[in-house]
Amino acid sequence: MNIDYAPLAGIAVIRPTVFGDERGFFMETWNQQTFANLGLDVDFVQDNHSRSRRGTLRGMHFQTEHTQGKLIRVTQGEVFDVAVDVRADSPTCGQWFGITLTATGGEMLWVPPGFAHGFYVLSNSADFLYKCTDFYHPQSEISLAWNDPTVAIEWPLLDGAPPELSAKDSSARQWSDIPLLRA
């Protein structure tokens, strides 16, 4: 596996070694010892799988309690994946990082606790899998508006059309109204 750290502290792009031939491929997507050797010594407690259609945007979500680190990958399709630093004492607080994740590329994204996270589906549909370091805690979940002008995420919207959102994400908060996380 290769690991590259993004400009935002703690975010990492992980590229597993893929072994393939005419029959298909094999790749190891999680090995606690390998990840610890790469500097990501984490324990996961929950796996999630989401399927979404083209133009769907899910996010930007985080929890103020039971903050979650997420190891993310796409197993079918293509998404633009984004993390926003919501750690009050971080030098990159309020900044975002985005990357296109594809099933064919096999790349994964590590988003540590302290980031709002979301993704936008670029392909006809996408299967999105992520491992979490803590359990879902809906009582403390916050949604940051996907189009907040302060954060100014540059989403690659298809044909410039607005994304398809859930009711929760349609009423997400602006940057000035979210509680930042404190260590």
Question: What confidence score (pLDDT) does residue 1 get?
Answer: 87
What does the block give as tokens for 88?
């009050």
And the tokens for 101?
């994740």
**E strand or H helix that includes residue 58:** strand 57-63
Our answer to whether residue 61 is catalytic in this structure is: yes
Catalytic, out of 5, 49, 61, 136: 61
**72-115 confidence digits (pLDDT tens):** 999 999 999 999 999 999 999 999 999 999 999 899 999 999 99
Q: What is the CATH number of domain 2-16+44-177?
A: 2.60.120.10
pLDDT for 169: 97
Q: Break the chain into its structural domains and give their ranges.
A: 2-16+44-177
Of the listed 49, 66, 120, 130, which one is catalytic?
130
Query: Using one digit for the tens of pLDDT, what is the confidence trace for 119-129?
Result: 999 999 999 99
**Confidence band for 25, pLDDT divided at 50, 70 and 90:** confident
Say what the pLDDT of residue 18 is.
87
130 assigned to active site: yes
The H or E element containing residue 35 is helix 32-37
pTM tops 0.85: yes
Q: Is 96 exposed, middle or buried (0-12, 13-18, 19+ CB in 10 A)?
A: buried
Predicted local confidence at residue 27, as pLDDT:
87
